[in-house]
A and B are shown apart, each in its own frame.
Chain A
Amino acid sequence: MTKPGHIPMLPQADKIGWSASVNGKSVSKSVESNAILLDVLRDYVGTLGVKRGCDMGTCGCCAVLINGEPRLSCLTLAQEVNDTDITTVEGLADGTHLAPIQETFAIYGGSQCGFCTPGFLVVAEALLRSNQNPTKDEIKTAIEGNLCRCTGYQPIVDSILAASEILSSNEGTIDSTQHQSDPHPGFIEEDN
């Protein structure tokens, strides 16, 4: 039942088929034709690493890579990016090896509360893919659309610089499942 003269707020939209490759995995879903990419990623695909901070393009928390280009998913219709390659923060690591940018954000304090981090990470990743040795100013320009309330940005810029160093040194990051500290140090097996 509705009130007389009541016009539903959200017009019922038709469902359409939507498919994309999200973090290298192809997904296809049936979504509303007016569905926003951010909602589709969070509610249908389940990549909850993509964050919603404002829903209107002002915070950058929802940034993802569409075919390698950073884009605000809260301002993107899912339809628009049908059949594209989408990378979210979940797609940056290589198995148990973090991407250099992830590792440096952790080490240099680029992430405090961490809510803005997914957005910064994908934007920085896009920058580093196109420019392995960015200057401070180039970094600042790249992240100007992202808000961070915790870090004051300085550690973020440092993290990105450090990641660019790792990239140019070709060193890579460590395996996060590698053996951790031995509580009984010093033991060597007999036949060693």
Chain B
Amino acid sequence: MSDEKEMVGYRQQPGKLPFARPGSGGKNQFSQLRDDELIPESQGGKKKQPWGDHRHDELVTSSAIGKRTPLYDAKWKVTGQAKYGDDIRLSNELIGKILRSPHHFARIKSIDTSAAESLEGVVAIATGADATAKFGVLPVTKDEHALAVNLVRHMGDLVACVAAEDEATALEALKLIEVDYEILDSNNDMAKGLEDSENPIHDRGKYHIGESNIQKRVFQEFGEVTNMEQKAVASHKANWHFQGVNHGFTEPHAVAAHWDPRGRLTIYTPQQVPHYLHRSLADVLEIPMHQINVYRTFVGGGFGGKSDPFPHEMCAAILARKSGRPVRITFDREEVFWINRGRHPSKIEMNLHADSQGRLCGVATDALIDGGSFASFGHVTTYYNGVLHTAPYEIGGFHYTGARVWTNKPASGAMRGHGAVNSRCAVEVGLDDLSEQLAVDPMTFRLANLLPPLSATITGFRITSTGMRECLEKVRAASGWDEKFRKLPLGHGIGVGCGFFISGSGLPIHWDPNKFPHATVHLKIDMDGGVTVHTGAAEIGQGSDTVVAQSVAEVLGLPLDMIRIRSRESDTSPVDLGSYSSRVTFMNANAAISAAMEIREELIEATTEITGADKEKLVIGDRRIYDKTDPAVGVSYLEALHKAQEERGALVASGAYRTPPMGRAHKGAAAGLAPAYSFSAYVAEVKVDVETGETKVLNVWAAHDCGKALNPLSVEGQIIGSCHMGLGQVLSEEMVYGRTGNLMNANLLEYKIPTVHEMPNVFPIIVESNDPEGPFGAKEAGEGPLLPILPSVCNAVYDAIGLRVNELPITQDRMHQNIEKLCKEQGVSDPLELTSPSIEYSQLQEILAKRAEEHEKRDKERRNSENVEPYHNGALFGYEATIPPEEQSNEWEVSVTPSQEYLENPRLAGSAWKHVERRHRSDA
């Protein structure tokens, strides 16, 4: 800006503006100057930045970020105006109902629908023959049909569907459909799924693994794996059994489908991942994607359970097409359990080894997971059961074998904490046992083995920021750990557990990450000044709309009431991968920021034009853009906007986010890869009634590192909610299958979700490690907080009565049996005579405490220095930190296929590798 140019703007005196801008409302509402307390030090504000500067610092306007913000759509919900799946009522609609298999496994010989068709009021009927194309959430494992083609694979599998004028008629029609089945031998035992079978549940052609029911197998070895036992002075081994659990969201699935007169399909559904549904619908209906509009209704809870494209969604579309009328299908609660996709029932063998210096010299895990009848997300789950416990600790050797098998049960899938929850529980309980054996404090033991910020894990994940240490320290202080641990009386105990989770899956399942972005956000601002945000991020109650709105508001210096979100329809929103893998805040908020930055640039440009002020000096405050050295010089937001719009009308901008290049090259290296990771540490305090086996959790101190809490209200809500869900799994929830594989408790009476009375006091503690790449430093908070609750309760139970549980949930009857066994082992007749564990620290304690202290210093330095040297897992074991250890020594293994030697004596899931893929067989 040249000096000669006259200042055409004005020195604005509050309250004295020449005229009201069109659409301003003309009301006397002054704007606030920027709040120094919220502006980072690096920007001349007063906000302390203990974790250093952030790349988004200059975008901070103190408008929205970091404030407790009610959800964007909360008022729809509290007034009953929120429309969920079953609330979509289209005129002239038909009601769809689904005929389900009464058998676990059977071949459909014939289906006769004639009687049903002639029932008055029945308008359309569909069977497997109407849509034979396969679909599935992962492109590599498409194994589902809209309706069973040839085989039914579990009780409740979809066989046929009917659309009728009303529900009673549709139900009646189902009874009139005659299906002739040939019943096949079913299997509900996951271990048996590893063996060859005459009738495998699926046939994957040349990729089929032997003749077995193995859907996916993983073998991984990293580090010094050959002699972990020999190096160890303490070893832990446990065989865990985790029952399957269901998401238990309150809204049952429901869908409405409608083909408009132009021949386009609109599908209304509570989906977490509308885009995958979009793709699958195109496959199944054999029409191009542009002919489909996926409309996401309000979602009454997802937790992973609404993230697959579902067969009933296909059914609604097919019935609507056949009948030419809108069709609505709503599940009852039992059907929700039939479609399931909940957490896998798992058998996990966990081996941990610690050496004389209290380092974790070996982790060897074997996880067999029960996938039920379809692949769903299982491919990924099989990896996650291993790779997601390679941090936050530095590990000398990691050995993982995992297998997922098909059984004739409702399919397992993704559920909050996807694939990480069960094995994390096993690891953290193992660490407790190791510290017991080493006679050290489990807190100190953990603190002395943490990976630093800006490091690489043993499998090559990139840890950018970590607040693990702070989490542990905060819960230690808040819970009064040092006064309580091993000091509480019998039946009263305290335990710690940690968590580590991805903040957005680094691999967009459907495309090369270099090809399209992970997330895209569009902004449109017209003369009225309100900002319309188009995003495909699926609001499922977690607050994604809110976080995106906050990000835009923050960058543009606007109050939240000026931002409106359009995130429902695929017709209007840019493609987004949806709400899974805790990716929304990280990816969508980043995309929203970059879109808003474009607009911001234009507003500042326009302000310069009006006022002649130096662009560098202009800052955005609350609805005003002004010179920071002379705040009286500036213009209102609307003036700048209208100036910027002079040439071209409404401002539009598009922002995108993609992950940086990362990860290693071995097979499966992309599984578990994320642009950032969250960390958490919980301390739980429990009471166990040794006589009845009743376990009550009293308090939970829950620290979670979410990078930066964009909306602390939501973060706390997620932490407490995660505690609730995790407590359900540890205390009471399980899908009970009978001897022949019948699901015995497909209802909320017998599937026991904790009520308000079972909830402990949860004290959420937010730790902000300020992730360098996260939006304003943020990472995820939706799933990670679930992980630590399970092990911290288990460890607290040990502290209370000296009992190591290895089967969840610890229902009263299970606990009672466990306690009886314990009494026998200890030779006491009265459980009240059991002794509560105590501890006397060994010399190692001091060594560890010292190391923890040194590491703390190391971490601080790494965080705050400009040029940080690389740090690879292995440095603690004497390797040069800056080079990947496999490049330093042959001892450091990197292998993803088992050796012949291993196959001679494999562990349970590892035995999956005894089979040869059909394509590699000599007889193939």
Contacts and interface: CB of A to CB of B under 8 A. Distances in A.
A93 B716 CA distance: 27
B86 A186 contact: no
Contacts of A105: 74, 77-78
B720 interface: yes
Q: Which of B17, B77, B298, B540 has the most CB of A within 10 A?
A: B77
Contacts of A113: 77, 249-251, 298-302, 540-541
Nearest to B15: A188
Given A140-B757, A183-B623, A188-B28, A9 B562 contact: no
B723 interface: yes
Given A58-B747, A185-B29, A180 B561 contact: yes
Contact of B171 (A9, A49, A53): A9
A14 to B, nearest CB: 14
Contact of A185 (B87, B300, B636): B636
A48 B79 CA distance: 11
Nearest to A52: B86
Interface residues of B, number: 97
Contact of A118 (B80, B637, B639, B725): B80
B759 A181 contact: no
A43 B714 CA distance: 34
A54 B74 contact: no
Given A10-B171, A112-B542, A187-B17, A144 B333 contact: no
A51 B623 contact: no
Contact of A179 (B29, B78, B252): B29
B599 to A, nearest CB: 13
Which range contains the number of A residues in contact with the other chain? 35 or more
B79 A98 contact: yes
B60 interface: no
A6 B176 CA distance: 8
Contacts of B755: 144, 147, 153
Contact of B301 (A50, A146, A150): A150
B756 interface: yes
B83 interface: yes
Interface in B1-16: 12, 14-16
B333 A51 contact: no
A182 B250 contact: no
B631 to A, nearest CB: 12
Contacts of B14: 186
A24 interface: no
A186 B15 contact: yes
Instruction: Report whether over half of chain B's contact residues are helix, strand or loop; otherwise say mixed.
Output: loop
B724 A149 contact: yes
A186 B249 contact: no
A90 B80 contact: yes
B821 interface: no
A154 interface: yes
B26 A187 contact: yes
Contacts of A108: 713
Contacts of A176: 75
A53 B298 CA distance: 15
Contacts of A103: 78
A109 B717 contact: yes
Contact of B84 (A88, A92, A93, A115): A115
Given A113-B541, A152-B723, A179-B29, A106 B756 contact: no
A11 to B, nearest CB: 10
Contacts of B74: 105-107, 111, 114
B637 A184 contact: yes
B562 A154 contact: no
B623 A181 contact: yes
Contacts of A58: 333, 747-749
Nearest to B77: A114
B250 A179 contact: no
A89 B80 contact: yes
Contacts of B748: 53-54, 56, 58-59, 147
Contacts of B330: 52
A105 B70 CA distance: 9
Contacts of B73: 114
A148 interface: yes
Interface in B270-301: 298-301
Given A113-B541, A179-B25, A151 B721 contact: yes
Contacts of A183: 21, 23-25, 528-530, 558, 562, 623, 636-638, 641
A180 to B, nearest CB: 4
B30 A102 contact: no
Nearest to B24: A184
A149 B754 CA distance: 9
Contact of B759 (A8, A88, A146, A152): A152
A116 interface: yes
A52 B86 CA distance: 9
Q: Which of B80, B84, B303, B641 has the most CB of A within 10 A?
A: B80
B720 A181 contact: no
B739 interface: no
Contacts of A63: none
Q: Which of B301, B755, B756 has the most CB of A within 10 A?
A: B756
B664 interface: no
Interface string A109-148: 1011111111001000000000000000000100110111
B175 interface: yes
A154 B760 CA distance: 9
Nearest to B721: A152
Interface in A17-50: 42, 47-50
Contacts of B841: none
Nearest to A7: B175
B288 to A, nearest CB: 33
Contact of A114 (B24, B298, B332): B298
Contacts of A117: 77-78
17 contacts: A1-B118, A3-B176, A9-B168, A53-B251, A54-B252, A103-B78, A113-B301, A113-B541, A114-B77, A115-B251, A118-B80, A148-B724, A182-B25, A182-B27, A187-B21, A187-B27, A192-B28
A-B pairs, top 6 by smallest CB distance, nearest first, are A49-B80, A113-B541, A114-B77, A115-B300, A183-B529, A184-B24
Given A105-B74, A113-B250, A113-B298, 11 more contacts: A1-B118, A9-B168, A48-B83, A56-B749, A108-B713, A114-B74, A144-B756, A149-B725, A150-B717, A157-B756, A185-B623
